[in-house]
Amino acid sequence: MHLNTPAGIQALLSSTPYACISLLPLTGGLLNVTLRGTLVVPLKDGASTVIVKHAENFPALVEGISWDAVRLVSCMQHY
């Protein structure tokens, strides 16, 4: 399963409350896969879409610097 593709992420989510009918790529990011998903079943709060973000550890474009996926943890704590 390739989590850097919409099909791979859709397969991963298929058995969760976040199973999606479709996943559309969002623009603007350089380091992550960011998608808007349309849910098969709306969430309890009525939401019918979700934002899905996938990050992996990889070297940055500048030698000697790498990006760790843990950088997203502090961002997600605000939501």
pLDDT tens figures, 1-60: 677 778 889 999 999 999 999 999 888 766 777 899 999 999 999 999 999 988 776 654
| β 58-59/66-67 pair status | antiparallel
What pLDDT was estimated at residue 33?
79
pTM of the model: 0.69
Residue 5: predicted pLDDT: 79
Closest CA to 13 of 46, 30, 45, 38: 38
Amino acid 78: pLDDT:
40
The pLDDT assigned to 28 comes to: 75
